[in-house]
Amino acid sequence: MRVQMLGLCRFSYVGLRGYQVEHQSYEERRAYLYDPERLARRWFWFTEIALPAWRAQTDPDFTLVVMTGPDLPEPYLSRLRDLAAGMPQLKLELVPPMERHLAACRAAIAPHADPSADVIGHFRHDDDDAVAVDYIEAARKDFRRVKGLWKNEGKLSLDYSRGLMMRFENGKMQLTPRICHNMGVALTVFLSPDAEETALHYDHSKIATWMPGVAVTRPLMFIRSIHGDSDSGAMGPGLPWQIDADALDRQLTKRFELRRQKLERLARNIL
């Protein structure tokens, strides 16, 4: 059974819906998203936290669609083009502002869905979060173990629940180990290739109302960033898990290709 892994990352996309911070017009939304200082911070999250592990995936057979607007200010539009040119898995889609956010997401994803796949593993990825370097490999492997559940309904969620909450405040970084179910990051929604939906069509906090789901609580698989630009700054419900400081720093490097000292140094200059 051939599984396509297909993700969507929104980078300051100007649409009126789909976010917890609301605006009444495209102009208000554009002014908020395209503020130069905010864009500099988003670029920091995306390139320094999200991208390292995507570049280092142990299974490179995946597609990550980066969705933004055709009027994204320079130099960021050119930078995204350069990133896509240098990373085969990264696909840039320029979607004009649309009121219906899910339709915009579908427009970005549809050109990259492979109709010859047996199943598509859809995932969403916020530009300030990270998945572990073996997320794609693990999702394919674990889907094979539970594919019978998918065959029954044509839908299945696979949730990697062990992660780190990375809070940036006043130029400092705090890591809190948490087990959180269906956070959105490292959550895969397996659908048939002809399905109209994407991962964004399902509210991750209510995903059990639409499909069966499997939670995998080991190993450490995600980082969720919390900071002043977060769409939602709450840590949310979850369970703590224990790891000493030195081991945590080693896991940060081993699992996510990140280094605490570098991130703290960059954060002091950007945030």
Q: Which domains does the chain have, with CATH numbers?
A: 3-270 (3.90.550)
Q: Is the pLDDT of residue 26 over 90?
A: no
- In this prediction, residue 120 carries a pLDDT of 98
Q: What residue ranges in 181-271 does DSSP mark as E strands?
A: 187-191, 213-216, 222-226, 239-240
CA angle 186, 43, 86 (to 5 degrees): 80
Bridging pattern class, strands 187-191 and 119-124: antiparallel
- In this prediction, residue 269 carries a pLDDT of 78
DSSP state letters, 35-77: -HHHHHHHHHHIIIIIHHHHHT-SS---EEEEEE-TTPPTTHH
Among positive and negative, which fits the CA dihedral 184, 191, 18, 271? positive
Alpha-carbon gap, residue 129 to 123, rounded angstroms: 13
pLDDT tens across 102-114, in order?
Answer: 999 999 999 999 9
Alpha-carbon gap, residue 179 to 165, rounded angstroms: 10
Q: Is the pLDDT of residue 127 over 90?
A: yes
